[in-house]
A = this chain, B = another copy of it.
Amino acid sequence: MAERFTVTYLVIAADEREARQRALDIALEQTVEIPRDVVPAGYVEDEILGKLEDLKPDAEGRPGFLATISYSEDDIGGDFLQLLNIVFGNSSIKPGIKVEDIGLSPGILAICPGPRHGIEGLRARAGIGRVPLLMSAIKPVGLSTAALARLAHDFALGGMHYVKDDHGLVDQKTSPFAERLRACVDAVGEANAKSGGRASFVPNITGPAGAIVERALMAAEAGAGAVMLAPAMTGYDIVRTLAAHPDFTLPIVSHPAFSGANVVSPTSGFSHRSFFGTLHRLMGADAAIYPNYGGRFGFSRAECQSIARACAADLHGLKPIVPAPGGGVNFDRIPDMRDAYGPDVMYLVGGALLQQPDLVSACRRLADAVEGRSA
C-alpha cells in the first residue's frame, strides 16, 4: 500500500446518516468517479478509492459534519494538479462541500518542495529583522512608465520593502512590461542609493501562458526582487514550476485575483487557511496576498488570523510564508492589525498612501505605525 494523505471536508447535512452518505459520495467522486457497484475489486477498491476515516459534527456549530477522507499517493501520479483534482476537482461543483484542511503525506512533499525563501528569505532580502514587511503597489493602469517608476521610487524612498506592480499592469501600451520592469528596477535602485535601503521591485508576471516563465527570467535578469502572479488565472502549477525552476530563484508573491469564488462562500470552496495557507505553501509562494478584514472585502478578522496561522504553522518542514493582507488598509487600521497579526505579516498598502499629500513621508509614517513607533 502507498502512503495516504487526507482531506477534511465540511459536509452540509441534516444528520449524520446524510453526512455519511455525502462523504462516501465524495470518496467515490474524487477518485474512481463511477458507481460504487462497479468499482473493480482489488487494487482500485483497496488503494485508489477514497476511504472515509472520520466523521463528526462540526465543532464550530455549522450545520454539517467534518468528514476526513484519505486518498492514495498512487492516485497523484507525481502531478500537482492531480493532487488538486483529488482534493476538490468535481466536488467543488457540489453545493455544501468545503475543504477545511489538507493533511500532507511524504509523496506530496516530493512533488512540492515548497517556498524557496519564505518570510525569512523576504526579510533577509530587505535587510530587516523580525518586524513586519511593507509592500505597496504602483498604480493605476493607464499611467505612463515614467509616472509609475516615479511612484516606485517614492515608495522605496519612503521605506517600503517591496514595491509591486498593480495586478492589473501587464503589457498595456501605456506601460509595456519590459519597459516598466527596467524603469522601476532603476527607480527603486536610485531610491536605495539615496536611502541606503534595500527595497525591491516586484513585477506582475501574470500573462499569456507561454510568456510567464520568460517574464520571470527577465525579471530576475533585470534585477527585480521578486515576482507576482495570480494563480487562479495562470493555473496553480506554474507557481510550483517557478519555485522549483533551476534558472529562477526569486521569491514569488501570489495575488488572489479571480480566486474569490474559492473562498467567498461559507459552505463551498476552501477554508481561508487551507487556500491561502496550505495550498500556497504547497505551490511554493513566499507571500500570499489576500483581502484584509474590515476593508472593502468580506473576510472576518478571525478568518484572516487563520490564514496567518496557516502561513506559519508547522507543515512538514515547508518554510513559513508571509501573509500579506491588503485592500483598504489605512492608517486608522494599523493598531488593530498589529494586535491581530503581530510581526509576522506583510502590510500591503496602496491607495491609503496615494491619498496622502506627500508619498515619501506617508510611507515613513506607515513604517512607524506598523512598528508601533509614535510618528
The residues of A with any CB-CB pair to B shorter than 8 Å are 25, 29, 31-35, 37-40, 43-44, 47-48, 74-82, 84-86, 88-95, 139-143, 166-168, 170-174, 206-210, 213, 230-231, 233-238, 240-241, 256-265, 268-269, 291, 296-298, 327, 350-352, 354-355
Contact = CB atoms under 8 A, between A and B. Distances in A.
Contacts of A76: 172
Given A208-B80, A235-B234, A140 B44 contact: yes
A140 B93 contact: no
B94 A260 contact: yes
B85 A167 contact: yes
Given A94-B297, A258-B85, A261-B261, A141 B172 contact: no
Contacts of A171: 77-79
A31 B230 CA distance: 16
B206 A34 contact: no
B235 A32 contact: no
Identical copies in the complex: 2
Contacts of A85: 167-168, 206, 230, 233, 257-258
21 contacts: A31-B141, A32-B139, A43-B174, A44-B141, A44-B142, A74-B142, A75-B172, A79-B208, A80-B208, A90-B257, A90-B260, A90-B291, A92-B264, A93-B264, A94-B260, A209-B240, A210-B213, A233-B236, A233-B237, A234-B235, A261-B269
